[in-house]
């Protein structure tokens, strides 16, 4: 090979080596956020229980949305130095895992941290209800508190109270079903509610439950005197042997119904696969709106 050829080979080799650095640059080492489960603080008198089921977090770093993560979460971040963090509390609309959403009535958690490459910052987020949140009613079944689910639409037994197997406090609501005498029951609030979407579209029903039977939740209202009261059930929960919490998004249901006044209603029922008798336990029911 002559001298000119050697120069070409040498030059090509250098370009190839330099090109590798351009094509495959050295990867940055991220900082990490170790985000723990949210805690909810409430005023027990005006906002009820601090029970929550916040399953996801929406992460914003320096005002930029990074993504949604199941809690607890380890989040890699390629922003360094003093940085503002905003965490939005996420729930699952109607208990469906494919419908995660930011809960509009919980405040975002904000903090400022110093992020360094290959170092982890732990965050214990907390939240509370926003000031704009309104509670049309709170049903906790405790003494000296008003009862709301007192209208028996269908069935042989009304919703009662129990001190056995309660979620918290001294009482929970209990409904007993059996295939012979009470295979299905519909219970509604005696009180009616209006203008729930006057100041915002979102209306949610929060419920703690433990149930051996499926239960559908929805609304009831008077369409006209001839038709009478109509019930609209959209979402519900399946049997669960442990206490759980669910957030029912009834915003669209309310809008579509066209009702001026509504009652909150639920229907519990036994199926062919259900046992001969079953109990439904509920607690901390909140109707939340703007």
What residue ranges define each of the domains in the chain, with the CATH number in brackets?
31-128 (2.60.40), 134-289 (2.60.120.260)
C-alpha distances (whole Å) from 168 to each of 55, 139, 145 are 21, 13, 15
Report the candidate in 230, 191, 233, 231 with the shortest Cα–Cα distance to residue 214.
233
pLDDT of residue 164: 95
Q: Which residue has the tokens 């109707």?
A: 287
pLDDT digits (tens, 9 = 90+) for 51-101: 999 999 999 999 999 999 999 999 999 999 999 999 999 999 999 988 899
pLDDT of residue 144: 86
Strands 100-102 and 56-61, bridge-based pairing: unpaired
Global pTM? 0.89
Contacts of 128 (CB under 8 A, 6+ apart): 40, 41, 42, 106, 107
pLDDT: which is higher, 289 or 6:
289
Tell me the three state secondary structure of residue 15. Answer: helix
Q: Is the pLDDT of residue 33 over 50?
A: yes
Average pLDDT on 153-170 reads 95
pLDDT digits (tens, 9 = 90+) for 226-268: 777 899 999 999 999 999 999 999 999 999 998 989 999 999 9
Q: Which residue has the tokens 């369409």?
A: 223
Report the candidate in 219, 218, 213, 194 with the shortest Cα–Cα distance to residue 282.
213
What's the mean pLDDT when you consider all of the chain?
92
Q: Is the pLDDT of residue 46 over 90?
A: yes
Q: What span, in angstroms and rounded, lies between the C-alpha atoms of 279 and 165?
A: 11
CA dihedral 97→100→103→108, nearest 10 degrees, is 120
Q: How far is CA 288 from the centre of its chain?
A: 13
pLDDT of residue 13: 54
Q: Is the pLDDT of residue 170 over 80?
A: yes
pLDDT of residue 148: 97
pLDDT of residue 7: 46
Name the pLDDT band for 269 (thresholds 50, 70, 90): very high
Name the pLDDT band for 158 (thresholds 50, 70, 90): very high
CA dihedral 164→165→170→173, nearest 10 degrees, is -90
pLDDT of residue 4: 45
What six digits make up the tokens of 65? 């949305």
Average pLDDT on 16-40 reads 79
């Amino acid at each position: 090979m002559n001298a000119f050829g050697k120069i070409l080979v040498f030059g090509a080799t250098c370009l190839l080596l330099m090109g590798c650095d351009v094509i495959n640059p050295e990867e940055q080492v991220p900082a990490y956020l170790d985000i723990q489960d949210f805690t909810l603080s409430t005023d027990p008198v005006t906002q009820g229980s601090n029970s929550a089921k916040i399953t996801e977090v929406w992460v914003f770093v320096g005002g930029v949305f990074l993504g949604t993560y199941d809690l607890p979460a380890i989040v890699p971040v390629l922003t360094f130095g003093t940085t503002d963090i905003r965490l939005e509390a996420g729930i699952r609309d109607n208990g469906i895992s494919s419908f995660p959403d930011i809960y509009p009535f919980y405040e975002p958690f904000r903090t400022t941290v110093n992020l360094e490459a290959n170092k982890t910052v732990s965050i214990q987020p907390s939240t509370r209800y926003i000031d704009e949140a309104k509670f049309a009613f709170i049903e906790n079944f405790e003494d000296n508190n008003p009862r709301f689910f007192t209208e028996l639409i269908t069935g042989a037994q009304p919703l009662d109270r129990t001190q056995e197997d309660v979620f918290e406090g001294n009482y929970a609501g209990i409904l007993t079903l059996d295939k012979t005498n009470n295979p299905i029951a519909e219970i509604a609030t005696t009180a009616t509610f209006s203008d729930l979407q006057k100041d915002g579209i979102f209306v949610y029903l929060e419920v703690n439950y433990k149930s051996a039977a499926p239960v559908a939740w929805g609304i009831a209202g008077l369409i006209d005197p001839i038709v009478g009261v109509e019930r609209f059930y959209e979402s519900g929960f399946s049997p669960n042997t442990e206490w759980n919490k669910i957030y029912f998004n009834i915003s669209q249901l309310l809008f579509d119904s066209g009702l001026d006044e509504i009652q909150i209603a639920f229907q519990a029922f036994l199926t062919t696969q259900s046992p001969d008798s079953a109990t439904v336990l509920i607690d901390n029911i909140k109707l939340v709106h703007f």
